[in-house]
Amino acid sequence: MAVRVQAADFDLGTELTLLRSGRTDIGALVSFTGLVRDQDGRLTGFELEHYPAMTEKALVAIEAEAQTRWPLQASLIIHRFGPLAAGEQIMMVAAASSHRAAAFAAAEFLMDYLKSRAPFWKKETTTAGAAWVDARETDEIALARWSSC
């Protein structure tokens, strides 16, 4: 049950170890890490803008919604902002539960909501120029599937 918005990198292993440290009631731990792809070498710059006053609020709301849908023993969202290089970690989510179905579903739900509901915007500079990344229609479709749950 934690949310962090930061410019600094994070250590995935440390975060996942902390999430389950001292606990013996977790059966399944799922993590997702988003990374900057170099797009076959075309990417020369990458910047993540966000809306500071809203970001943490939105992520806390997304996490709280996941908590109401699945019996989670722990969850975590970390999202970075600012300039990032190819290969760097952009963000992570983790969900821990007694059983794997809940942990997987919660992690996917966190990702789907975060993609379309947390105020982050990616700007990529490639050999073809700088451009704001377009939202993918598939992201809205991914989000819609949770409405029928």
**How many binding residues for a copy of itself (CB under 8 A)?**
36
Q: Which residues have CB under 8 Å from 117's CB, separation 6+? A: 58, 62, 143
Helix extents (H) in 29-99: 52-69
Instruction: Select the binding partner of residue 142 from another protein, a copy of itself, none (C-beta < 5 to 8 A, by kind).
Output: a copy of itself
CA nearest neighbour of 76 among 119, 116, 112, 29: 29
Q: Does 38 bind a copy of itself (CB under 8 A)?
A: yes
- Among 48, 148, 117, 115, smallest CA distance to 88 is for 48
* Of residues 52 and 134, the one with the C-beta less far from a copy of itself: 134
Q: Quick one: which segment of 23-31, 52-60, 63-71, 120-128 binds a copy of itself (CB under 8 A)?
A: 23-31
**Site for another protein, rule CB under 8 A:** 34, 48-51, 53-54, 57-58, 79, 90-91, 100, 111, 114-123, 132-135
